[in-house]
């Protein structure tokens, strides 16, 4: 399954297009199956349904853990680097991780969690987060990890949507010099979640918390009593493995569902190839497990390959902006995978934090989550990679489960800011507004994929119609990514950003409608419109135009109140960077907000607003421009 040259990549790619079933069956057969599959693929993008390895049975943890006990039981699986740089790092070997996962699997079983039940995990970046995820997978429970920065409201929305029976959390969390409540937030969330029967709490900060009799249990006590033996549940390849909520153009975040077999095969294959992982390499993915990058390339992809994966609890700027570089030295990291927003932010601190840092262990660098600008790419290449480490700019999405368009480290010739070429199995196509294919090179269009790959989204939890309309109805017969893309003269792909109402703030995906709904919940707000605008560090910032019932008495205070409302409803990551109070919004006669104009104003491009003649009240635009910040 390992590609070792450009020619091998080209051969693998051709085979994956000409004989996709044979291609993926050969790769899938490298894993341990409880019952081998006989069918490889069944699919339709018209009436959306995709099934890979449908009649096979397996368990992803048997492949990510048990399989390695025969060969590398004492090798590190996870290296936990705590928030405080002075605290000792903790290494869990494959044997230790296996035992702890088995124990926690038994804890879940003892609480009546069965195959197919949903479990919500709301935890900071500590080893127990990975253990909880893997324990769910081992017993066939469907995990729904909610990023630790989300609010109580966001937790309860997600818990209720998928009817979770059990929640796993900690007393608190530490990030940089802040202590953050976790259990308290869960308690608030659960006031409106009657489906939850049990809460398991791991101690992290020794923060005093309330523990409800009959519902709340201590992780440590339960784990102590549990046996370290737990056979992996036989899962059908198409049984759901997890739900991960992600934002779209409209409505509340939707629960993207991934299934066991295809996700296992695809994340393992892409991890091994794109990063050119060699046994014994130390891999450091800085993403939180609360996002898809953490699921696929901190937990599953690396462990399926018997890799050493670094799990970092803190933030890149604590105790100072040299923290990542210290971690690289401390753990002799060979492959480093982070987001452009982190690169830009650290670049902004200048070279002082790089002085004296030994980064010589690095061999491969990766980027993910948002377009990387050429300047940041070059800084990453020169200052971190010392011109010696290929940078893999990996384009993919929560819905794709794994990397889609990306260089293969050291093999694909690079171009700064280009995700370069599709990986084997991925068939991209660019279309115009009407869905017509844009052929040839040197073109721009909307990025679609025309053939299924093993870890494609299977459904949106509880609402298959939503999955069909969101991804398969804009351009019938194609999966629409929501991204704009250019294909240059060499056939290289460069992702230009979302073409829908989804923003990408510091690599975090947030829907404009979600933020508007939150702002509109603030007292006195009549209406709001939110757009993204270019931001030097975050990639995009959030710009909100807000109409209030009365002129505000104190604009600054009202702005802060609105921020507090958004933080409470969604979480601090969704707080607007700019709030402009307006008396009207540019609407068409049919009442639709012309966001194009608002985007231009937010970008400070007042001269090129385009045609405003179809507006109900063109005068509104002048007043918005006058008040622009
Ligand atoms: O717009 C693309 C951007 O992030 C979106 C997916 O966000 P999410 O589901 O949260 O997953 C992020 C991590 C995989 C995409 O639609 N995106 C992701 N990677 C890149 C990117 N944009 C440009 N270049 C990338 N490498």
Dump pLDDT digits (tens) for 461-513.
Answer: 999 999 999 999 999 999 999 999 999 999 999 999 999 999 999 999 999 99
Predicted pLDDT of residue 492: 98
- The number of domains in the chain is 1
Short-list 35, 30, 41, 27, CA closest to 58: 35
In a domain, 592, yes or no: yes
Short-list 2, 8, 13, CA closest to 422: 13
d(CA 625, CA 629): 9
Cα 109–110–111 angle (5° rounding)?
90
Q: Phi, psi (5° rounding) for residue 90?
A: -115, 130
Sequence-ordered list of residues with C-beta below 8 angstroms from that of 605, at least 6 positions apart, any chain: none
Confidence band of 448 (pLDDT split at 50, 70, 90): very high
Average pLDDT of the chain, as a whole number: 97
Distance 339 CA to ligand 1 centre (A): 10
pTM for the predicted model, two decimal places: 0.97
In a domain, 473, yes or no: no
Predicted pLDDT of residue 612: 82
Confidence band of 211 (pLDDT split at 50, 70, 90): very high
Ligand 1 neighbours (beta carbon < 6 A): 246, 292-293, 368-371, 393-398, 419, 481-483, 495, 497-498, 504, 509
Mean pLDDT of 424-431: 98
Please check the confidence at residue 608 and state whether its pLDDT lies above 90: no
In a domain, 519, yes or no: yes
Q: Which residue has the tokens 């995820």?
A: 133
SS3 502: strand
SS3 83: coil
d(CA 306, CA 312): 19
d(CA 220, CA 518): 37
Please check the confidence at residue 375 and state whether its pLDDT lies above 90: yes
For residue range 212-254, what is the model confidence (pLDDT) as tens digits? 999 999 999 999 999 999 999 999 999 999 999 999 988 899 9
CB of 182 closer than 8 Å to CB of 173: yes
Predicted pLDDT of residue 613: 82
Beta-bridged to residue 569, according to DSSP, are none
Percent of the chain with pLDDT over 90: 95
For ligand 1, atom 5: residue with the closest CA = 397
Judge if the upstream peptide bond of residue 72 is cis by omega within 30 degrees of 0. no
CB of 602 closer than 8 Å to CB of 533: yes
Ligand 1 atom with the shortest distance to the CA of 287:
13
d(CA 191, CA 355): 50
For residue range 64-95, what is the model confidence (pLDDT) as tens digits? 999 999 999 999 999 999 999 999 999 999 99
Distance 456 CA to ligand 1 centre (A): 15
Ligand 1 atom with the shortest distance to the CA of 502:
1
d(CA 321, CA 537): 14
CB of 79 closer than 8 Å to CB of 91: yes
d(CA 44, CA 451): 9
Mean pLDDT of 510-528: 97
In a domain, 540, yes or no: yes
For ligand 1, atom 4: residue with the closest CA = 369
For ligand 1, atom 8: residue with the closest CA = 397
Short-list 606, 607, 516, 531, CA closest to 562: 516
Q: Which residue has the tokens 């607003």?
A: 609
For residue range 299-326, what is the model confidence (pLDDT) as tens digits? 999 999 999 999 999 999 999 999 999 9
For ligand 1, atom 15: residue with the closest CA = 397
In a domain, 539, yes or no: yes
Short-list 513, 511, 506, CA closest to 528: 513
Half-sphere exposure (CA, 13 Å, Cβ side) for 291?
A: 19
- The tokens describing 312, both together, are 């970092």
Predicted pLDDT of residue 629: 79
Beta-bridged to residue 543, according to DSSP, are 531, 578
Predicted pLDDT of residue 618: 86
Cα 365–369–371 angle (5° rounding)?
85
In a domain, 522, yes or no: yes
Confidence band of 161 (pLDDT split at 50, 70, 90): very high
DSSP letter string over 252-311? S-EEEEEEHHHHHHHHHHHHHHHTT--TT-EEEE-S-TTSHHHIIIIIIHHHHTT-EEEE
For ligand 1, atom 26: residue with the closest CA = 395
Ligand 1 mutation target, pool 291, 395, 405, most atoms within 8 A of CB? 395
Terminal alpha carbon distance of the chain: 53
B/e letters for 10-48, b = 16+ CB within 10 Å, e = fewer, are eebbeebeeebeebbbebbeebebeeebeebbeeebeeb
Farthest CA pair distance, the chain: 73
Pick from 145-149, 496-500, 616-620: least confident = 616-620
612 is in which domain, residue-wise?
506-628
In a domain, 579, yes or no: yes
Choice between 550 and 182, residue whose per-residue pLDDT is larger = 182
In a domain, 227, yes or no: no
CA dihedral (373, 374, 376, 379) in degrees, to 10, reads 170
Q: What is the CATH number of the domain that holds 531?
A: 3.30.300.30
Count CB-CB contacts under 10 A for residue 204.
23
CB of 584 closer than 8 Å to CB of 623: yes
Ligand 1 mutation target, pool 243, 300, 339, 397, most atoms within 8 A of CB? 397
d(CA 406, CA 609): 35
């Amino acid at each position: 399954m390992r590609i070792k040259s450009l020619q091998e990549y080209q051969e693998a790619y051709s085979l994956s297009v000409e004989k996709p079933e044979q291609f993926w069956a050969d790769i899938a057969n490298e894993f341990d199956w409880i019952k081998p599959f006989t069918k490889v693929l069944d699919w339709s993008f018209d009436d959306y349904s995709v099934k890979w390895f449908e009649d096979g049975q397996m368990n992803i943890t048997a492949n990510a853990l048990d399989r390695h006990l025969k060969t590398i039981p004492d090798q590190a699986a996870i290296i936990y680097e705590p928030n405080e740089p002075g605290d000792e790092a903790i290494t869990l070997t494959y044997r230790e991780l296996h035992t702890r996962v088995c124990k926690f699997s038994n804890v879940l079983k003892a609480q009546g969690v069965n195959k197919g039940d949903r479990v919500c995990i709301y935890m900071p970046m500590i080893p127990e987060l990975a253990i909880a995820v893997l324990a769910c997978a081992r017993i066939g429970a469907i995990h729904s990890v909610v990023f630790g920065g989300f609010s109580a409201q966001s937790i309860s929305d997600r818990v209720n949507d998928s009817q979770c029976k059990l929640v796993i959390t900690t007393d608190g969390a530490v990030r940089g010099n802040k202590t953050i409540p976790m259990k308290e937030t869960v308690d608030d969330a659960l006031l409106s979640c009657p489906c939850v029967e049990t809460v398991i709490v791991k101690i992290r900060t020794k923060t005093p918390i309330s523990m409800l009799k009959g519902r709340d249990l201590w992780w440590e006590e339960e784990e102590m009593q549990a046996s370290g033996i737990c056979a992996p549940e036989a899962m059908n390849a198409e049984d759901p493995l997890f739900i991960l909520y992600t934002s779209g153009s409209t409505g509340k975040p939707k629960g993207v569902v991934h299934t066991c077999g295809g996700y296992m095969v695809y994340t393992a294959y892409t991890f091994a190839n794109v990063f050119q992982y060699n046994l014994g390499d130390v891999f450091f993915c800085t993403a939180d497990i609360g996002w898809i990058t953490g699921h696929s390339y901190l937990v599953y992809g690396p462990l399926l390959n018997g890799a050493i994966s670094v799990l970092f609890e803190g933030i890149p700027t604590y105790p100072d902006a040299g923290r990542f570089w210290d971690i690289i030295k401390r753990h002799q990291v060979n492959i480093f995978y982070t987001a452009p927003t982190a690169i830009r932010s650290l670049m902004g601190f200048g070279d002082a934090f790089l002085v004296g840092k030994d980064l010589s262990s690095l061999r491969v660098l990766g980027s993910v989550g948002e377009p990387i600008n050429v300047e940041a790419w070059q800084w990453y290449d020169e200052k971190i990679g010392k011109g010696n480490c290929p940078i893999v700019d990996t384009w993919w999405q929560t819905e794709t489960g794994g990397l889609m368009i990306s260089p293969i480290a050291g093999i694909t010739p690079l171009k700064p800011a280009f995700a370069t070429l599709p990986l084997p199995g991925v068939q991209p196509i660019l279309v115009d507004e009407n869905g017509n294919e844009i052929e040839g090179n040197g073109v721009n269009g909307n990025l679609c994929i025309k053939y299924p790959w093993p870890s494609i989204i299977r459904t949106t939890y509880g609402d298959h119609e939503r999955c069909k309309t969101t991804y398969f109805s804009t351009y019938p017969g194609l999966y629409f990514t929501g991204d704009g893309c250019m294909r240059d003269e060499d056939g290289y792909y460069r992702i230009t950003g979302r073409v829908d109402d989804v923003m990408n703030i510091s690599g975090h995906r947030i829907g404009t409608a979600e933020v508007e709904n939150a702002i509109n919940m603030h007292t006195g707000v009549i209406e709001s419109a939110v757009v993204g605008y270019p931001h030097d560090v975050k990639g995009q910032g959030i710009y909100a135009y807000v109409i209030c019932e009365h002129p505000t008495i104190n604009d600054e205070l009202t702005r802060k109140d609105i921020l507090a409302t958004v933080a409470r409803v969604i979480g601090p990551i969704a707080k607007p960077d700019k709030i402009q109070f307006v008396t009207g919004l540019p609407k068409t006669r049919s009442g639709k907000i012309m966001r194009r104009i608002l985007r231009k104003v937010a970008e400070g491009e007042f001269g090129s607003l385009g045609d405003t003649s179809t507006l109900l009240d063109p005068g509104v635009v002048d007043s918005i421009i006058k008040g622009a910040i």
